[in-house]
C-alpha cells in the first residue's frame, strides 16, 4: 500500500510542498462540514502523515520529530536516540516491551523522551521509564507524533466548522468559491476500470445479471433485492445501481432491457416515458451528454441517505445495528461471530472495514490468490464485484469447488458463485 501511495503522490504532484500545503487547507475547508467528513479526512490525513514520516531516513525523522515536538510542546520537547551501550544496558527491560524478539530488538532504534510527552504509552505500559524519561521503540515514537497531529487537526477542523466558513455570501469571491468547496468532497470518485467480467472472458448482459447478484457488495445486493420486490426503483436507487452496472460493463441496450423487465409495476409506455430517458442520460446519450461514472463508497456513504421505501445507500452505514444484523443472518453471511464483528465495525463507524470483512468472509483466502485484485475493495463497489468474480473464476478453473470439502464460509461462497441461484 505504501509503495502505491508513494507513486500516486508522485503522479499527482503532492510531493511538492506548496501543492501539498494548498491542497491540505482546501480540503480542510471542504471536509469540515460534517462529522462524517471530518472523520474521513482526519483518518486519511493521519495515514498520509504517518507514511511521510516512515519514508524519512532515521536522522531526517529525528530532526523532523524534534522540530515538531518543539513547535508543539510548551517548554519545548526533546527526543534523543539512545546510544548502543545504553541500549545494551537496558536490553532486558526494553525486550519486554510488546513481546519483542531478540532479532527485532537488534534492528529497532529506541528513543528517550520526557515521560510527560508519552503519557499514553506510560498509561498502557508500552514504554520503559527511568529517570524521568520514557524509553520507546521507533514505531511507538511515530504513534506519539501521529496522535498529536490527529488531536491538533481534529481541533482545527472543529474550530473551522464552527467559524461559519460557508455562511458569508456577501463577498463575490465567496459566492464563486463556496459551491466548489461545498461539493468538493462529493468528487471522491475512485477511477475504476470499467471492465466487470471481461477479465474472465464473460460479459454482463440483461439476462445474466441475476446470476451474478451474489458477487455484488451488500449495497448492490440489497438494491437488486429491493427492485425485485417492489418491481421498481426510486431515483437515487436507479442511479446507484444503474451506474454500478454500467461500470461493470453492462451496455445501454442491456440496461434498458434489464430495468424494463424488472419494472413490472409500470407499462412499457410509461417505462419509455419516465425511465428510458434517465438510463440513456446515464450513458451520456441524452441531455448534456456527460460521462457518468459509478459511485465510489465515499460518495455513497456521504451522499443522500435513504428514507422509507428507498433501497440506495450503504447498509453498513445507513442501517441500524439490529437491522444490519438481521440482514446478514438472513443472507447467511459467515458465522454469528463473523456477523458480530461486522456489526461492531459498523458501530464504531468503520463502514468500509465492515464491507472488507464481508468480502473476506465470503471469499476465504482471497488474499493468497494473485489473480484476485483486492485493491479498492471497500472503497468502490465495482472493485468488490470484480474481485469476487475473479475469485470464483479462479476457483472454478482450479476445480477446487468440486475437489475440496467446503468450510461453512465456502458453502456460502458456493451459494453465491456465478451461475448459482441468488440466496436471498
Ligand atoms: Fe457498498 Fe461501499 Fe458500503 Fe460496501 S462500503 S456496502 S461497497 S457502499
What is the structure's pLDDT at 315?
97
Within its chain, how far is the Cα of 151 from the centroid? 22
Higher per-residue pLDDT: 126 or 172: 126
Least confident of 138-152, 173-187, 371-385: 173-187
Helices (H), 134-276: 138-162, 172-184, 218-230, 235-247, 252-262, 268-270
Point out the ligand 1 atom lying closest to the alpha carbon of residue 384: 7
Closest CA to ligand 1's atom 6: 219
Q: What's the gap in Å between 369 CA and the centre of ligand 1?
A: 22
Query: What are the pLDDT digits (tens) for 255-284?
Result: 999 999 999 888 888 888 889 999 999 998
For residue 189, pLDDT over 50 is answered with no
What is the structure's pLDDT at 188?
58
What is the structure's pLDDT at 129?
92
> Domains of the chain (ranges plus CATH)?
2-184 (1.20.930.80), 198-423 (no CATH)
For residue 324, pLDDT over 80 is answered with yes
Higher per-residue pLDDT: 168 or 1: 1
Mean pLDDT of 330-337: 93
Point out the ligand 1 atom lying closest to the alpha carbon of residue 297: 2
Q: Is 334 helix (H, G, I), strand (E, B) or coil?
A: coil
Q: Is 419 helix (H, G, I), strand (E, B) or coil?
A: coil
What is the structure's pLDDT at 416?
30
pTM recorded for the entire structure: 0.55
Point out the ligand 1 atom lying closest to the alpha carbon of residue 218: 6
Q: What's the gap in Å between 349 CA and the centre of ligand 1?
A: 13
Q: What's the gap in Å between 296 CA and the centre of ligand 1?
A: 8
Q: What's the gap in Å between 382 CA and the centre of ligand 1?
A: 10
What is the structure's pLDDT at 415?
30
* Ligand 1 pocket mutation, candidates 245, 356, 378, criterion most atoms within 8 A of CB: 378
Higher per-residue pLDDT: 31 or 169: 31
Closest CA to ligand 1's atom 3: 314
d(CA 245, CA 295): 11
Q: What's the gap in Å between 282 CA and the centre of ligand 1?
A: 21
Within its chain, how far is the Cα of 216 from the centroid? 16
Q: Where does the pLDDT of residue 216 fall: very low under 50, low under 70, confident under 90, or very high at 90 and above?
A: very high
Q: What's the gap in Å between 381 CA and the centre of ligand 1?
A: 6
Percentage of the chain beyond pLDDT 70 is: 84
Mean pLDDT of 50-64: 81
Query: How high is the mean pLDDT of the chain?
Result: 81
Give which of 291, 317, 289 is closest to 303, Cα–Cα: 317
Higher per-residue pLDDT: 77 or 250: 250
Give which of 202, 243, 260, 184 is closest to 380, Cα–Cα: 243
* Ligand 1 pocket mutation, candidates 297, 350, 382, criterion most atoms within 8 A of CB: 297
Angle between helices 381-398 and 351-362 (to 10 degrees): 10
Q: What are the CA-CA distances from residue 40 to residues 95, 244, 295, 374 (Å)?
A: 36, 23, 17, 21
Percentage of the chain beyond pLDDT 90 is: 32
What is the structure's pLDDT at 417?
30
What is the structure's pLDDT at 209?
93
Q: Where does the pLDDT of residue 62 fall: very low under 50, low under 70, confident under 90, or very high at 90 and above?
A: confident
Q: What are the CA-CA distances from residue 356 to residues 213, 350, 420 (Å)?
A: 17, 10, 22
Q: What's the gap in Å between 357 CA and the centre of ligand 1?
A: 11
Q: What's the gap in Å between 4 CA and the centre of ligand 1?
A: 22
Pocket of ligand 1 (CB under 6 A): 217-219, 297, 300, 314-316, 351-352, 355, 378, 381, 384
Mean pLDDT of 207-227: 94
Closest CA to ligand 1's atom 4: 355
Closest CA to ligand 1's atom 5: 352
Mean pLDDT of 244-256: 92
Closest CA to ligand 1's atom 1: 219
Closest CA to ligand 1's atom 2: 297
Q: Where does the pLDDT of residue 149 fall: very low under 50, low under 70, confident under 90, or very high at 90 and above?
A: confident
* Ligand 1 pocket mutation, candidates 381, 382, 385, 388, criterion most atoms within 8 A of CB: 381
Q: What's the gap in Å between 378 CA and the centre of ligand 1?
A: 6
Query: What are the pLDDT digits (tens) for 72-119?
Result: 554 445 677 888 898 889 888 888 776 677 888 888 888 888 888 788
Q: Where does the pLDDT of residue 370 fall: very low under 50, low under 70, confident under 90, or very high at 90 and above?
A: confident
What is the structure's pLDDT at 284?
87
The grid cell for 201 is 472472458
Point out the ligand 1 atom lying closest to the alpha carbon of residue 316: 3
Point out the ligand 1 atom lying closest to the alpha carbon of residue 355: 4
Sign for the CA dihedral angle at 21, 22, 23, 29 comes to: positive
Amino acid at each position: 500500500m505504501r509503495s502505491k501511495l508513494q507513486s500516486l503522490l508522485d503522479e499527482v504532484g503532492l510531493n511538492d510542498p506548496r501543492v501539498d500545503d494548498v491542497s491540505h487547507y482546501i480540503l480542510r475547508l471542504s471536509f469540515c462540514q460534517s462529522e462524517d467528513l471530518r472523520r474521513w479526512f482526519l483518518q486519511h490525513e493521519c495515514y498520509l502523515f504517518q507514511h511521510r514520516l516512515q519514508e524519512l531516513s532515521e536522522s531526517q525523522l529525528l530532526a523532523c520529530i524534534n522540530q515538531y515536538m518543539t513547535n508543539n510542546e510548551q517548554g519545548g520537547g526533546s527526543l534523543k536516540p539512545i546510544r548502543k551501550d545504553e541500549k545494551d544496558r537496558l536490553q532486558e527491560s526494553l525486550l519486554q516491551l510488546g513481546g519483542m524478539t531478540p532479532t527485532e530488538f537488534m534492528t529497532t532504534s529506541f528513543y528517550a523522551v520526557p515521560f510527560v510527552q508519552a503519557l499514553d504509552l506510560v498509561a498502557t505500559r508500552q514504554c520503559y521509564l527511568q529517570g524521568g524519561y520514557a524509553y520507546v521503540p521507533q514505531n511507538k515514537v511515530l504513534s506519539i507524533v501521529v496522535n498529536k497531529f490527529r488531536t491538533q487537526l481534529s481541533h482545527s477542523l472543529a474550530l473551522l466548522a464552527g467559524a461559519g466558513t460557508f455562511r458569508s455570501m456577501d463577498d463575490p469571491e465567496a459566492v464563486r468559491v463556496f459551491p466548489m468547496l461545498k461539493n468538493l468532497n462529493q468528487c471522491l470518485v475512485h477511477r475504476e476500470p470499467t471492465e466487470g467480467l471481461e477479465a474472465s472472458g464473460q460479459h454482463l448482459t440483461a439476462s445474466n445479471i441475476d446470476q451474478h447478484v451474489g458477487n455484488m457488495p451488500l449495497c448492490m445486493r440489497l438494491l437488486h433485492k429491493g427492485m425485485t420486490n417492489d418491481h421498481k426503483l426510486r431515483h437515487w436507487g436507479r442511479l446507484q445501481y444503474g451506474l454500478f452496472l454500467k461500470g461493470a460493463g453492462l451496455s445501454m441496450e442491456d440496461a434498458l432491457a434489464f430495468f424494463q423487465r424488472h419494472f413490472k409495476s409500470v407499462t412499457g409506455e410509461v417505462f419509455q416515458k419516465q425511465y428510458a430517458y434517465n438510463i440513456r442520460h446515464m450513458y451520456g446519450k441524452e441531455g448534456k451528454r456527460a460521462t457518468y461514472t459509478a459511485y465510489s463508497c465515499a460518495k455513497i456513504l456521504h451522499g443522500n441517505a435513504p428514507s422509507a421505501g428507498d433501497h440506495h445507500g450503504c447498509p453498513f452505514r445507513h442501517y441500524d445495528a439490529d437491522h444490519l444484523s438481521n440482514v446478514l443472518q438472513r443472507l447467511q453471511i459467515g458465522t454469528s461471530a463473523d456477523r458480530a464483528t461486522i456489526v461492531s465495525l459498523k458501530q464504531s463507524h468503520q463502514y468500509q472495514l465492515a464491507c472488507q470483512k464481508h468480502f473476506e468472509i465470503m471469499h476465504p483466502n482471497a488474499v493468497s490468490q494473485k489473480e484476485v485484485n483486492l485493491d479498492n475493495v471497500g472503497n468502490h463497489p465495482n472493485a468488490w464485484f470484480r474481485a469476487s468474480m475473479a475469485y470464483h473464476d479462479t476457483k472454478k478453473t482450479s476445480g477446487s469447488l468440486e475437489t475440496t470439502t467446503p468450510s461453512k464460509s465456502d458453502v456460502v461462497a458456493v451459494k453465491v458463485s456465478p451461475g448459482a441461484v441468488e440466496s436471498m
